[in-house]
């Protein structure tokens, strides 16, 4: 009979991460550190600017501030631990730390799916219902939609985290990833995890595929409305705001769907680590650039802030 070993009795997990490529770890450390600093600076900049400039007190920038705060939390939940593991020979994380990391990574990832859907509704209302926009996107409704995004994400994560706590772990306690996630931990179990996998698939469909479908539907309606526009100025403004959001959606959903929809093999597991690295490190650092580089409102807000100084 297989001897059962619960990771909680050992007190830690080993995050294998990129240990198969030790020659890459120093390079990865430097690159990830740069992107992490970009994420911190860029997203804090958006949050502070949206708070300080009254012209940015609009639904779009309210949700964008939520997205920036979300990205800050999302990267911080896994990247500092990854940097520590890449820098030193030990690649351990405590059992409690692993469960906490799993909870927040899943909660924040789910929240981002829902929040991006809410932001697409805001763009739909702005383009297709401009005369009723202030009524449709009332500040109280915006706050309720943002709160619903956060609550749904953390509730979904609580469900999976509790299931993981109930699953006995056997044999080794080496997690074949650079952070603690549900599929990687389920592979350490010595019991049938079919119910856990079905639950994960079901909730992933609700919180990933349904938001993606609604986002694409919103942009289908927006595209039809744009084709009827005659004003070049209006077209440029629509493409400026909607194009930025659609690019952020693509950078987040495409890598995530590629990981979870491809068949599970040894090669796909290794590819999955680099893809996960992209949407946990690169995407959050690019979001501020996408929303600010060609944004006249942000440039105007920066100019007013500098003149105030």
Give strand ranges (E) for the chain.
12-15, 92-94, 174-175
Residue whose C-alpha is closest to residue 50's, from 300, 309, 287: 300
Nearest one of 165, 288, 294 to 241, comparing CA atoms: 294
Residue for token pair 């830690």: 12
Q: pLDDT tens digits for 53-69?
A: 888 899 999 999 999 99
Are 153 and 171 in contact by the 8 Å Cβ rule? The answer is: no
Q: Which pLDDT score, from 0 to 100, does residue 170 have?
A: 72
pTM: 0.89
Q: How far apart are CA 60 and CA 45, in angstroms?
A: 16
Which parts of the chain sit beneath pLDDT 70? 1-10, 171-172, 230-238, 240-241, 260-268, 294, 309
């Amino acid at each position: 009979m297989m001897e059962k070993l619960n990771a909680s009795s050992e007190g830690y997990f080993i995050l294998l991460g990129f240990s198969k490529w030790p020659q890459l770890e120093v390079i990865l450390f430097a690159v990830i550190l740069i992107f992490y600093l970009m994420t911190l600076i860029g997203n804090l900049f958006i949050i502070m600017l949206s708070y300080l400039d009254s012209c940015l007190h609009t639904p779009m920038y309210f949700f964008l501030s939520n997205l920036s705060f979300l990205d800050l939390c999302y990267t911080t939940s896994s990247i500092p631990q990854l940097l520590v593991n890449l820098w030193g020979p030990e690649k351990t994380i405590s059992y409690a730390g692993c469960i906490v990391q799993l909870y927040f990574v899943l909660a924040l990832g789910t929240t981002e799916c829902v929040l991006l859907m809410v932001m697409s509704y805001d763009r739909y209302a702005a383009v297709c219902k401009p005369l009723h926009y202030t009524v449709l996107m009332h500040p109280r409704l915006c706050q309720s939609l943002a709160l619903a995004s956060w609550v749904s994400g953390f509730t979904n994560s609580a469900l999976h985290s509790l299931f993981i706590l109930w699953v006995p772990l056997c044999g080794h306690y080496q997690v074949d990833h650079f952070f603690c996630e549900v599929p990687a931990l389920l592979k350490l179990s010595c019991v049938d995890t079919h119910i856990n996998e079905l639950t994960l698939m079901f909730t992933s469909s609700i919180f990933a595929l349904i938001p993606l479908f609604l986002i694409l539907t919103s942009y289908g309606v927006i595209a039809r409305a744009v084709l009827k526009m005659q004003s070049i100025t209006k077209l440029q403004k629509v493409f400026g705001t909607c194009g930025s959001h659609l690019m952020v959606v693509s950078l987040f959903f495409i890598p995530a769907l590629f990981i979870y929809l491809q068949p599970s093999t040894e090669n796909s597991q290794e590819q999955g680590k680099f893809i996960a690295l992209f949407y946990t490190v690169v995407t959050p650092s690019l979001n501020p650039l996408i929303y600010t580089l060609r944004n006249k409102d942000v440039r105007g807000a920066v100019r007013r802030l500098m003149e105030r100084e």
